[in-house]
Amino acid sequence: MRQLLTYDFMETMRVTNQWLGSTARAMCSYPQFGLVANPAIQMTAAWGEVMERSFARMAVKPDWGIRSITLGDGRDHAVSPNVVLPKPFGDLVHFAVAGREAMARKVLLVAPMSGHYATLLRSTVISLLPDCDVYVTDWHNARDIPVSAGKFDVEDYTLYLVDFMRHMGPDTHVIAVCQPAPLTLAATAYLAEEDPKAQPRSLTLIGGPIDPEAAPTDVTDFGNRVTMGQLEQSMLQRVGFKYAGAGRMVYPGLQQLSSFMAMNAEKHSRAFTEQILRVAKGEASDNDKHNRFYDEYLAVMDMPAEFYLSTVDRIFKKREIAKNTFTVAGKPVDIGKITSVAVKTVEGGKDDISAPGQCIAALDLCTGLPDSKKASHLEPDAGHYGIFAGKSWRNNIRPLVLDFIDANNKSAKIKAVS
């Protein structure tokens, strides 16, 4: 009961802050206050507007917002995200493009389950859609999943990826971003032994912690400093009565967000201060740079407790992927069994979450793969976000990934890279 009430208390604090922002904005925007030459009133209204929007975003799953794309024919084609394989903890979503011929490049984009929704990869999807048939793993908010659906840990996550790859077929090219990279590598190795014909053509791992000890960061240091008992005691809560998942143990999204913000507290504080000033001056807009970023960044989801704990324990502490000792349902998963799937790693030189060296470790684990099917790329000036969604991704990394897909695609013709 204590944990249920604590979860509800966090939600109460979120709603209270949203209400405070709304109240400040409404009161200080009252027309008669316009007759008072006091900038504090205008600043308070601006503070309220930013506060209300920020706390409101924390409880809402963002929409993909991808309505159409322009193709080589110069026409806009409608885009619709459709669930093609529904599951309790996550769906396989296909972005269908109306009026387009079948594409030779079929891509499965594996999104992280690390506090944010899959929509965090919206710009990545947009950049791939003109040249690829895109599928995405759309993970669900654990607070909305009834306890009757059972557990979900790293082994379940791996088997979900196996099912998604089987559904899409062997002409698939998988791109795993950040947290799912080690488990996507394990899922590929699982298929190599259990169902070789269902293996993808290529696997691109972007900024993932294959071997967290290869280049320690604050994230890996934290995982080593705390015990599993401390994590379970301090990080986990039971979902409150308001949601369908009431009673489920989770790592709450609001708690995760506080950790994210604390890592770069000065940067976030400056960003919000500057936004309040822009709102007060009338220079802000609904879709300005600040709102586009924070509308997504502040939208957080709860993570299943068993997934969070098993990730810290098995991926970071015991390094089961790095040591090639990972098991699924008691069955060893040997990464050396990958012999035909081309593997490429991408790292950012300024990545402070998954530092250079952590991801490229995957290539050494693929002992059964010839060097001709291994590739790596280090983007010197890119941080963690930039290697999959920023300018570095669009201008430098994306073309290299598409070239890698083409080089390992056995399908017919390839559409030109736009």
Helices (H), ranges, 226-377: 228-235, 253-263, 265-281, 289-297, 305-310, 361-365
Residues in the chain: 418
What is the per-residue pLDDT for 4? 63
Question: How many Å apart are CA 72 and CA 418, to the nearest integer?
Answer: 8
Q: What is the dihedral of CA 167, 172, 176, 182, to 10 degrees?
A: 70
What is the reported pLDDT for 145?
Answer: 96
Q: Which pLDDT score is estimated for 96?
A: 95
pLDDT in tens, the chain (418 residues): 456 667 888 888 999 999 999 999 998 888 777 666 778 888 999 999 999 999 998 888 999 999 999 988 888 999 999 999 999 999 999 999 998 988 889 999 999 998 889 999 999 999 999 999 999 999 999 999 999 999 999 999 999 999 999 999 999 999 999 999 999 999 999 999 999 999 999 999 999 999 999 888 777 777 677 888 888 888 899 998 889 999 999 999 888 888 878 877 888 999 999 999 999 988 888 888 899 888 888 999 999 999 999 999 999 999 999 999 999 989 999 999 999 999 999 999 988 888 999 999 999 999 999 999 999 999 998 988 899 988 899 999 999 999 999 999 875 344 434 4
| Element at 8 (helix H, strand E) | helix 2-28
Tokens of 180: 């799912």
Centroid of chain to Cα 55: 20
pLDDT at 2: 53
Q: Residue 176's closest CA among 377, 3, 344, 386?
A: 344
Task: Please report the domains of the chain, with CATH numbers, ordered by start residue.
Answer: 2-57+265-297 (no CATH), 68-222+303-407 (3.40.50.1820)
- pLDDT at residue number 3: 67
pTM, entire model: 0.90
Residues 6+ apart with CB under 8 A from 138: 83, 90, 91, 92, 93, 111, 117, 118
CB atoms within 10 A of CB 247: 13
